[in-house]
Structure 1
Amino acid sequence: MPTATLASGAFIKPKPSPYSKEQVIQWLIAIEFDAHSENGRSPGALPPPTVENLFIITRLHLLAFPFETTPIHYSPEHCMDVTPEGLYQRLVVRRNGSFCYGLNGLLFGMLLGLGYRAYAGQARSNSNFGKDQPIYWHTSHMVIFVQPIPDSNVTYLVDDGFGGYGLTKPILLSDEESNVVQGLGPLFKHRLRRAVHPQASTDSPDWVLETINENKDGDQGPRWNQVYTFSETEYFQCDFEAMSHFVSASPPDPKSRFSTLRDLMLLKKHTWLEDEPNVPVADRKLGGYVIIGQTLKRVGAQELEVIREIETEEERIELIKKYFDVDVDQDGIDHVRGRKVALVQA
């Protein structure tokens, strides 16, 4: 019996995509698929849903669209549109970014449009990252389960939407020791483990995504840290729209460790770390840029490097355009005024 399957051994059924063939082709153009695929595709045709293409597509999607939360802060609505058409317009047409429900939402729909058998789930982030005891929030992150091999239930976890120490390529749904994939930069790696939620009433384990920074030298050397936990439960578009609204608009509970995106300015743009034209897309090392609050950082080969501290909203908007290719109207300064993330006076 093959490993790396859903616990039930189930085969994911094909489902229709919310996107037309023409929209899928425009998305392939946006992520520059033809320029990075050795096999290419015939004019007007879609690339086949293979394992190789899954790795190429997820990596190029990650590079094309930044993780960003600017509509939550700089728009009058203070929310992110994560409907299929809203995501298509914001990312593919306008070439901006989104957060997990947007980045993974668009990717999920496009994978279905290419003929992949896939479904979407939700994860709980670890708010105590780097510490011995994980503390998991409510479900607030989207993940994708994909079975890319014909007549096989071998399953991959795909996630292009985690703003922190998330995956940069698909990983087999397996906790075998050899199942380790490269993360951001040359020093980060990811693996999957099974663990029981600390508050669970049964001993049934969930999946846990873990990461390690091999450059960290603590008292006991580098260590694996839990990023998030997830089950194999399927969730649907209505669930993601509801959770997107919650994490965009809800003020945090002062009695809780949970922090919503309403009070967090976060952007992350992936770039190639080095010029490696002869290295397969899935194996090239990634770096990039991050804005957390009012700090702009570069993700390099070793650690995060602070580029500058941002003092004004005008400066932050300029840097968002320069480093993340995200359009923010100067009128957005009026919309962010008075919010916790603002660099302007109320």
Structure 2
Amino acid sequence: MLAPPHTFTSDQLELYLQRIQYAEDATANGTSRLACLQKSIEQDPLSALTQLQQKHIATIPWGNSALHYSQHKTISIHPTAIFEKLVVRRLDGYCMENTNLIYIVLRTLGYQVYPTGGRVSCAVATVNPANEGYLSLGHMILIVTIADHKYMVDVGFGSNGPTRPLLLQENASAILMAPSEMRLIKASLAEFVDKSQKVWVYQARHNPESAWVPHYSFSEVEFLPQDFGMMNFATSNQRSSWFTQALVCTRVILDETDAEPVGLYIMAGKEVKKRVGGHTEVVATVETESDRVQALGKWFGMHFHEHEVEGVRGLPSQIK
């Protein structure tokens, strides 16, 4: 007999909502965050979904610290492990952690949702817009159906990842973070033998005058937990995977009203950058592991045990 799909308890949902700072004034009024969310879903499920997505990417960082600041150098995508790491420990996670977390949250809340897999574009993986190829399956995306319309939801792509649900409709552009934009198109991948087969391609561009750049492709076929188990193993273990070579972290910045994404904090190499309104500034430069640990605490709210930090010794990502 198959095990029933994993769901969270009401207490776990409340902890998740506290983690993403949803309805911060609810407790002051004697109302639970979950009650506020459930009321919002009843009134406008798409608006509630949008708010959840934006709160999530603004509070739970996208990153791969567990492959560097740990003794085990592994990533578990078991729901309990993900909840413990991202909600309780308040650490970062990559797509199959972050998106898996909100997937279970949405399913528990009653949304019609399922996951699918995607291929990251070589144009962004190699920082070469002319590269038309795609990597192997290694990304997790959600398909949410609301009032018979399907939306793509993703909280685990990092820089230039979508900041709101995108209707599965071709060429309908939306604001990513002003002035940058995002959209979906249907296309046949360059590697496909059968060019009649088309998939969705998520694209982004820096401003209305710049070219659209493909970031990843995906289909509407439902993927199973065991599919992501294989994808996660390859992504976190292959020597050719850049996730095992460098420590990276991003977190979205919301505006003063916590309503709209306006920017991004990015930790890469020896710098923490802040990108807002198309302008980028370096807010911190790290020269030692101690500097980087402090920067991750200050800009991303992540705090590590001493033995976890010691795990980076001898790795290519170690600051020497």
Same fold (TM over 0.5): yes
- Could you list the per-position Cα deviations for residues 28-64 of structure 1 after superposition, in whole angstroms to 9, with x for gaps in the alignment? 2222222389xx9964646136111111111111112
**2:244 match: secondary structure:** helix
1:96 is matched with: 91
Deviation at 1:314, TM superposition (A): 1.2
Contact 2:116 2:221 in 1 (8 A): yes
- In structure 2, distance between residues paired with 1:335 and 1:28: 31
Deviation at 1:108, TM superposition (A): 0.3
Q: CA deviation at 1:294?
A: 2.0
Q: Is 1:209 aligned to residue 202 of structure 2? A: yes
- In the alignment, is the contact (CA less than 8 A) between 1:265 and 1:341 conserved in 2? yes
- Residues 203-249 of structure 1 deviation map (CA, whole Å, 9 limit, x = unaligned): 2111100001117xxxxx51111111111121122222332222112
Higher helix share: 2
Cα offsets for 1:129-149 (capped at 9, x unmatched): 352342200011100000123
Over the aligned positions, Cα root-mean-square deviation in angstroms equals 2.2
Which residue in the other structure is 1:147 paired with? 145
Deviates more, 1:330-339 or 1:56-65: 330-339
Question: Are the aligned partners of 2:252 and 2:261 in contact in 1 as well (CA < 8 Å)?
Answer: no
- Any unmatched runs of 5+ in structure 1? 1-14, 216-220, 253-258
Alignment counterpart, residue 172 of structure 1, candidates 161, 167, 172? 167
The residue matched to 1:241 in structure 2 has which SS? Answer: helix
Contact 1:70-1:328 within 8 A present in 2 as well = no
Q: Which amino acid aligns with 1:131?
A: P
Contact 1:21–1:113 (CA<8 Å) still a contact in 2? no
Q: Unpaired segments of 5 or more residues in structure 2? A: none
Whole-angstrom CA distance in 1 between matches of 2:223 and 2:276? 35
Alignment of 1:289-300 (within 5 A): 289-300=265-276
Cα shift readout 1:270-311 (whole Å, capped 9, x = no counterpart) = 222x4236xxx2xx2321311112221111222322234322
Greater strand percent: which structure?
Answer: 2
Q: Figure out how many residues of one structure are paired with residues of the other and give that number.
A: 305
Distance 1:335 1:140 in 2: 25
Residue correspondence of structure 1 range 1-346 to structure 2 within 5 A: 16-35=5-24, 43=32, 45=35, 47=38, 48=41, 50-129=45-124, 131-149=129-147, 152=148, 154-175=149-170, 177=171, 179-184=172-177, 186-202=178-194, 203-214=196-207, 221-252=209-240, 259-272=241-254, 274-276=255-257, 281=259, 284-344=260-320
Query: What is the aligned-residue identity percentage?
Result: 24
1:156-198 alpha-carbon deviations (Å, 9 max, x no partner):
00001102221011110110x4x222213x1111000011011
Deviation at 1:26, TM superposition (A): 2.1
